[in-house]
Amino acid sequence: MSSDEARRPPMLSNRWLVLALLFFVRLSTGIQYQAVASLSPQLMSGFVLSIADIGLLIGLYHAPGTFLAFPGGAIGAWLGDKRAVLFGLMLMAVGEIAAATAPTWPMLMGARIVAGTGGILLNVMIIKMVADWFTNKETATAMGIIGNSAPAGVALALATIPWLASVGGSGLASFSVVAYFLIAFIALTVAYKAPDEIKAATQGQSLWPERRVVVSLVTAGLIYGIYNVGLVTILAFGPLMLTERGWSFAAGSSATSFVLWIVTLSLPGGGLLADRTGRSALVLVFGLLAFAAVMALAPRVDAVLAIFLILGIASGLPCGAIMALPTQVLVPETRSVGMGVMFTVYYGINVCGPWLIGLIANQAGGARFAFDSSAISLCVAVPLWLFFRQLASRSPTIADSKVLS
């Protein structure tokens, strides 16, 4: 071993250890995303906000994705996945600090957009990095696990941020979030490298998928976006829904975090079930319909913890199969750009969805109607999947792609 190699920091080569590292890094997006909902009582009183305003502020985190996800994929292909993620973490930290010190509502919104810009870069590239390591190798399981990182971050934020704010104010909560970003930055810098075969296949070029594949990716983005808005409905409006039923906000937040902790088990479990049985389609469709049914029941059942337990199980089942959809139509050469296409649509849905659901809840007279709206949209995702399946029936090839200059 040369002296240069001896000084080089250790890099991970086992794909499961790589997945654990990427899980830890992506956990940061769930923590930051949930920070607004976890501090909503302080924000609503400090800035005189309504439920719809909180929904808008939550959705703004994903707003840059509507125009940044596609170029973010292309930037990742040019700059490199690892550097793009590190830059994303830096923007997330800047946005978090700015939000903690924002004196006005417009400045708070601007800080949220800056933080979201970093989150979009990080999210698009990490999903692509997982696909690089796991395509045709327990794909749904790996996607279920990495998909679980954001809900786990949300659950962690629900359980800790309100407590930190009560102990040391919102400043302590924001400082803790930024400290997590710093640890993730160091860990990724030291330990990650791309698989050798991916570096060889994609070096110096980025390919644009052919039209049928692009339509497939748009459809996959719609499905994934609708699904994620369902999860957002639970975490953003669950505490408010329980408050309307006589719970304290702290108790409602704790009960909602219970759902997300169950999701941390059911989400990778759904991916594992899809891979082990070979029935990915069945897991996806059944999971979406079960999620919709329990969402409709949750505001109407007195046994809240029991129905939230079922909700946590049902909501996690289809995620791995949904996140694996792009791997059915993308090859390594089109993966960066293709992921950017899918996430452009995904983030567009995530910007509009929480705001629209909050608006419906305002007009209808309660947060429980947010659950009803989400249940209906989850049912719509099933025919969208049938359309995707038809489009994906022919496998893409390198010949179907064009070099993106």
Write the pLDDT tens digit of every residue in 291-312: 999 999 988 888 888 999 999 9
Whether residue 48 is contained in a domain is answered as: yes
Question: What rounded mean pLDDT belongs to the chain?
Answer: 83
Tens digits of residue pLDDT in 344-401: 898 888 878 888 888 888 887 778 888 999 999 999 999 999 999 998 876 554 445 4
Whether residue 399 is contained in a domain is answered as: no
Whether residue 3 is contained in a domain is answered as: no
The predicted pLDDT at position 1 comes to 46
Which CATH number does the domain housing residue 73 bear?
1.20.1250.20
Whether residue 143 is contained in a domain is answered as: yes
CA 200 to chain centroid, in Å, comes to: 29
Q: How far apart are the first and last CA of the chain?
A: 39
300 Cβ neighbours under 8 A, 6+ residues apart: 368
The predicted pLDDT at position 399 comes to 43
Q: Find residue 403's DSSP bridge partners.
A: 207
CA 272 to chain centroid, in Å, comes to: 19
**Which one has a higher pLDDT value, 48 or 324?**
324
Q: What is the mean pLDDT of residues 254-274?
A: 86
201 has a pLDDT exceeding 60: no
Distance CA 384, CA 281 (A): 13
Tens digits of residue pLDDT in 24-48: 999 999 899 888 777 767 676 667 6
Percent of the chain whose pLDDT exceeds 90: 29
Q: For residue 9, what is the DSSP state?
A: P
The predicted pLDDT at position 207 comes to 67
Task: Look at the chain and report how many structural domains it folds into.
Answer: 1
| CA nearest neighbour of 236 among 358, 146, 152, 115 | 358
List the domain range (segments joined by +) for residue 164.
Answer: 9-393
Q: What is the mean pLDDT of residues 216-231?
A: 93
The predicted pLDDT at position 14 comes to 85
Whether residue 93 is contained in a domain is answered as: yes
Number of H helices, E strands in the chain: 17, 2
pLDDT tier at 12, thresholds 50, 70, 90: low
Whether residue 405 is contained in a domain is answered as: no
225 has a pLDDT exceeding 50: yes
| CA nearest neighbour of 77 among 233, 213, 194 | 194
313 has a pLDDT exceeding 90: yes
Whether residue 402 is contained in a domain is answered as: no
Whether residue 398 is contained in a domain is answered as: no
